[in-house]
Amino acid sequence: MSKKAIIYVNQFFGQLGGEDTAGVGPSIHEGLIGPAMAYNAQLKDCDVTHTIICGDNYMGSNPEDAVAQILGFLENLEFDIFIAGPAFNAGRYGVACGTICKAVKDRFGVPVITSMNQENPGMEMFRKDIIIMKGGNIASKMRKDLAAVVKVANKMLAGEQVGPAAEEGYFPTGRRHQVFIEEDATTRFMRMLHARIAGEEFVSELIVPKLDRVPIAAPVKDLKQAKVALLTTGGIVPVDNPDRIQSASATRWGKYDITGMERLESGVFKTIHAGFDPAAANADPNVIMPIDVLRAMEKEGVFGSLHQYFYSTVGTGTTEKEASRMAKEILPLLQADNVDACIMVST
Amino acid sequence: MVKEIERAGIPIVHMCNIVPVSKTVGANRIVPTISIPYPLGDPATSREDQWKLRYHRVRVALEALATDVEEQTVFPV
C-alpha cells in the first residue's frame, strides 16, 4: 500500500492570489494544488492526499490560531510525511513553513521537511528543529529545490537514515551522530592539525557557531532632550519614488524631509514595498511611519525632537549584506545630525 | 540595519510584527506591531482607535529607548 503525504503552501503557491489574499486563514483541500502536483509525481510509493493553504500574513500575525486550526485539520487524517514549501527567500513564507513543520512534528511525530534559501530568516529560526533543505533565492528555482526535498523525503518514507547535512544538502541541525570510521582518533587529530597549520580545509565534528550579536547600546539619558530619527523597511516614499528604490531586493534607500509636516499625507507619500498589500499604507502612510503621533508627543514634551528626515528602504528579499551596507551609508548622516536614538518600523 | 546602527552606539528600537525574526536577527529593543501591511493602525477600526493604538505603541518604543536593558527585550504593549 502506498504511503501518504500532506503538503503545506502559502496563498500564492496555493493559487488563491498574491498579497491581496495574504491575510486568509488556513484551509485544507483534498487533492493536489500547486507544488503538491510535482510532489505527488516525484515521491516514491507515496500519494499526496491533501494540500493545506494559509496566507503568510495570517500565519505571521496569528501563529497560535493558525497552527491550532491546521493541527485540527490533521487530527483525523493518516499521513506518513508532512512537507512545506519550498519557501525560497520569502521571509514570511519561510517562517510559516518552519512554524507548521515543527508543530506537526511535535504533535504527530511524523517526518517533516521544507526548503529555504540561506538568507530566509526562517532558516536560522528552525534549522535545529527540522530538516530544511538548502534552496534557491527565487521561485524559478522551484524544480531544483523541490527535487532536493523529494530526494530526502523518499529516504524518510523508506525508513532510511538521512545522512549528514553537508552530504544531503540541508542546513546543519546542530545534532551529532555517532559513526565509526577506520582511522583512529590520534591519526585523525594529527591530520586535522596539520591541515589547520597548512591552511588547508578540514571538517571538525564540533562546529563553533558564528553569532553576530551587537552590544546593547546605552539608553538615552533624557528622553525629553533626545533627537529621535524614524527609519523604515516598509518602503514609504514620496509618491514619485525619487530615489527609484526597488520594490523588492532593494539596494537603494532614501532620505526624506518632513519639516513642517504634522503627518504623512496620502497622495504625497505611499509605499512601494512589494511584499504586502499596500492599500492600508497608501490610504494612511502613518500606519507605517507614525509621524502624526510623534509630532503630538514632540509637542507634549514626551521626547525632545523628531529628526528632520526619515530614512526608508524596502525589506523584502533584501539580503543581510545589502541591508548592512545601506545602514552603514545612513549611519554617518545620523551621526552628523546628532541623532540620539532611532525607531525602525518594519513590515 | 538595526544592528549596524546599534553597533555605533545609537540606541534603536525595532517595531515589527514577527518578533521571533527580529530576535533571530539580533535586535535588542523590540516593540511588537499589529500586522505586516499596517503595523500601527488597523484600517478596519475607527480613526480614533488607530490613533490610540499608534500613540500607545510608539510611546512604548520611545520609552524603550530610555530604558536600560541587559538582554534582548520585547517590551509589553
Measured CA distances, B64 to A25, A296, A306, A338, B15 (Å): 33, 18, 16, 19, 11
pLDDT above 80: residue A340 = yes
What's the gap in Å between the CA of A43 and the closest CA on chain B?
32
| pLDDT tens digits, A38-57 | 999 999 999 999 999 999 99
Q: Let me know: does A281 contact A271? Beta carbons within 8 Å.
A: yes
Task: Output the average pLDDT for chain A.
Answer: 94
Instruction: Tell me which residue in A92, A287, A330 faces B40 most closely, judged by beta carbons.
Output: A287
The least confident of A11-15, A176-180, B22-26 is: A176-180
User: Which of B3, B22, B33, B58 to mutate to test binding with chain A, by most A CBs within 10 Å of its CB?
Assistant: B58
Domains of chain B, residue spans = 2-74
| pLDDT tens digits, A127-149 | 999 999 999 999 999 999 999 99
Q: According to the model, what pLDDT value does residue A168 have?
A: 95
The total of other beta-carbon atoms located within 10 Å of residue A337's CB is 12
pLDDT above 80: residue A122 = yes
What's the gap in Å between the CA of A305 and the closest CA on chain B?
12
- Chain centroid to Cα A325, Å, comes to 19
The least confident of A155-159, A202-206, A316-320 is: A202-206
- ipTM more than 0.85? yes
> Mean pLDDT, to the nearest integer, of A84-101?
96
| pLDDT tens digits, A171-221 | 999 887 778 888 898 999 999 999 999 999 888 777 666 677 899 999 999
| pLDDT tens digits, A278-299 | 999 999 999 999 999 999 999 9
pLDDT band at A317 (very low <50, low <70, confident <90, very high): confident
The verdict on B77 touching A (C-beta cutoff 8 Å) is no
Measured CA distances, A321 to A67, A286, A318 (Å): 32, 28, 8
Q: Rounded to 5 degrees, what are φ and ψ at A131?
A: -85, 120
pLDDT above 80: residue A86 = yes
Question: Which domains can be identified in chain A, with CATH numbers?
Answer: 3-168 (3.40.50.2300), 223-345 (no CATH)
Partner B, chain A 84-143, Cβ-Cβ below 8 Å: 91-92, 95, 121, 124-125
| pLDDT tens digits, A207-260 | 666 677 899 999 999 999 999 999 999 999 999 999 999 999 999 999 999 999
Q: According to the model, what pLDDT value does residue A319 have?
A: 84
> Mean pLDDT, to the nearest integer, of A158-169?
92
Q: According to the model, what pLDDT value does residue A208 have?
A: 65
What's the gap in Å between the CA of A259 and the closest CA on chain B?
20
Q: Across the interface, do A214 and B68 touch by the CB < 8 Å criterion?
A: no
The proportion of chain B whose per-residue pLDDT surpasses 90, expressed as a percent, equals 95
Q: Let me know: does A13 contact A124? Beta carbons within 8 Å.
A: no
User: Which residues from A are below 8 Å from B46, CB to CB?
Assistant: none
